[in-house]
């Protein structure tokens, strides 16, 4: 996740606070898929996962005027989806544990088994370090600076590593 992406999300949240409905659509297009993946990690039901994401977007619209633009809006959305999903499990008595050592292959949607298989194979081809990088950025919603600190790498190296990892992943998926 680049600081640029966080700034874009924050900008869209700001526009939403002024009643810009197009910004809401843009934000959903920007991060809706990622948020669904997060919800699916904690919920076994696809429909319920989509409901949770919708609930978070409704919450966002209601609270967008008090959002601090200096914060990481994407991280807030991810944590909100995670918390809503966990609350749903408590409410319904479902207990879902999440393995801390998962890879992104664990959270891929099963909408298309062919696509699912291709993504799983591509993610399995990445090194554990590359999977950890993607987990930090796209699952935990950490900024590049936070990811660099967590991985013990310089910021510029982390940026280059992410860029190269995404290129590698794209090439694997293209093949």
CA nearest neighbour of 96 among 40, 33, 35, 34: 40
Residues 156, 168, 1, 134: is their CA dihedral positive or negative? negative
CA 90, CA 95: separation in Å to the nearest integer? 7
- The DSSP secondary-structure symbol of 71 reads S
- The closest alpha carbon to 60, from 42, 73, 45, 70, belongs to 73
What is the DSSP-derived secondary structure letter of residue 105?
G
Please tell me the distance from the alpha carbon of residue 85 to that of residue 21, in angstroms, as a whole number.
25
CA distance 158 to 148: 6
Instruction: Kindly calculate the radius of gyration of the chain based on its CA atoms and give it in whole angstroms.
Output: 17
**Which pTM was predicted?**
0.54
Where are the domains positioned within the chain? 3-92, 104-174
CATH of 3-92, one of 1.10.1240.10, 3.40.640.10, 3.30.1050.10, 1.10.1740.10: 1.10.1740.10
What is the pLDDT tens value at each position of the chain, 175 positions in all? 457 888 889 999 999 988 888 998 999 988 888 888 888 888 877 788 889 999 999 999 988 888 887 788 888 898 899 889 888 877 776 655 555 444 444 444 434 444 555 666 777 888 999 988 888 887 777 788 889 999 999 989 998 998 898 888 888 777 6
The count of residues in the chain is: 175
Work out the burial of residue 120: count CB atoms within 10 Å of its CB; fewer than 13 is exposed, 13-18 middle, 19 or more buried.
middle
Q: Rounded to 5 degrees, what are φ and ψ at 101?
A: -100, 25
pLDDT for position 55? 92
Tell me what pLDDT residue 97 has.
52
Cα–Cα distance for residue pair 64/87, rounded to 1 Å: 22
Contact criterion met (CB below 8 Å) for 148 and 132: no
Q: How far is CA 139 from CA 4, 23, 103, in A?
A: 17, 23, 10
Domain 104-174: state its class: mainly alpha
């Amino acid at each position: 996740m680049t600081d640029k992406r966080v700034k874009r999300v924050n900008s869209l949240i700001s526009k939403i606070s002024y009643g810009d409905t197009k910004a809401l659509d843009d934000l959903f297009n920007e991060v809706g898929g990622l948020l669904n993946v997060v919800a699916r990690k904690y919920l076994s039901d696809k429909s319920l996962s989509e409901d949770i994401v919708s609930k978070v977007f409704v919450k966002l619209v209601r609270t967008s005027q008090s959002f601090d633009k200096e914060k990481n809006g994407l991280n807030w959305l991810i944590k909100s989806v995670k918390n809503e999903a966990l609350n749903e499990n408590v409410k319904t008595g479902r207990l879902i544990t999440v393995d801390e050592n998962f890879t992104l292959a664990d959270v891929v949607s099963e909408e298309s088994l062919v696509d699912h298989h291709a993504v799983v194979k591509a993610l399995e081809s990445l090194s554990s370090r590359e999977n950890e990088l993607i987990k930090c950025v796209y699952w935990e919603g950490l900024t590049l600076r936070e990811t660099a600190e967590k991985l013990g790498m310089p910021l510029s190296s982390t940026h280059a590593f992410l860029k190269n990892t995404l290129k590698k992943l794209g090439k694997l998926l293209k093949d």
